Amino acid sequence: MSTKEEKFNNYLRAKGLKFTPERKIILQEVFSLRKHFNADQLFEKLHKKNRQISRATVYRSLPLLVESGLIVETLRCQSKVSYEQIFGHKHHDHLVCIKCGRIIEFRNEKIEKLQEEVCKEHNFKAVEHRLGIRGYCSRCLSRANKKSS
């Protein structure tokens, strides 16, 4: 279980599904994309590269990639579900600039630990979590300062 292809294949086989050429291409493309992407961005990218894969197939494949543990659903940007790779990346949370859209990733062990404690207190078995902090990034703040001075 070292490469992403193997991992995806194993997942599919275990569920009686097939590692089709379409799924192979989608897998490749997902991992050549920038970190945060959504279904239609992926579809567009494939379309431009003349890989004839239907929109339905793209939409159908993403949940499989999530289930197999290769990608994860992250933020919802303006009503679109956004994904990012987790194979080879470790978990992190996000700061999202509501002015320029910049996404800053961070990881804070203490917060992660405290979440575990909260779950224990409530006898809750966590599967995943998402922490998103929305506000203004440093660039947007300094630009705002320059203007007002």
Torsion-angle region of residue 70: left (phi > 0), alpha (psi -120 to 50) or beta?
alpha
Closest to a copy of itself by CB, 27 or 137: 137
Q: By CB under 7 A, tell whether 12 contacts DNA.
A: yes
Binding partner of residue 105 among Mn ion, Zn ion, a copy of itself, none, CB under 5 to 8 Å per kind? Mn ion
Nearer to Zn ion, 21 or 126 (CB): 126
Which of 7-15, 46-54, 84-92, 127-135 is the region at the interface with Mn ion (rule: CB under 5 A)?
84-92
DSSP class per residue in 8-40? HHHHHHHTT----HHHHHHHHHHHHS-SSEEHH
- Give dist(CA 132, CA 103) in Å, integer: 10
Q: Which residue has the tokens 């193997």?
A: 6
Note the residues at the interface with a copy of itself (CB under 8 A).
76, 95, 97-98, 104, 106, 108, 110-111, 114-115, 118-119, 121-138, 141
Interface ranges with Zn ion (CB under 5 A): 97, 99-100, 102, 137, 140
Contacted by 32, from Zn ion, DNA, Mn ion, none: CB < 5 to 8 Å by type: none
Using only the alpha carbons of the chain, give its radius of gyration: 18
Is the CB of 10 or the CB of 54 nearer to DNA?
54
CB atoms within 10 A of CB 139: 12
Nearer to DNA, 60 or 92 (CB): 60
> Any idea what DSSP says for residue 97?
E
Which segment (76-84, 111-119, 121-129, 136-144) binds Mn ion by CB under 5 A? 76-84
- Say how far apart CA 109 and CA 89 lie, in whole Å: 15
Binding of DNA at residue 33 (CB under 7 A)? no
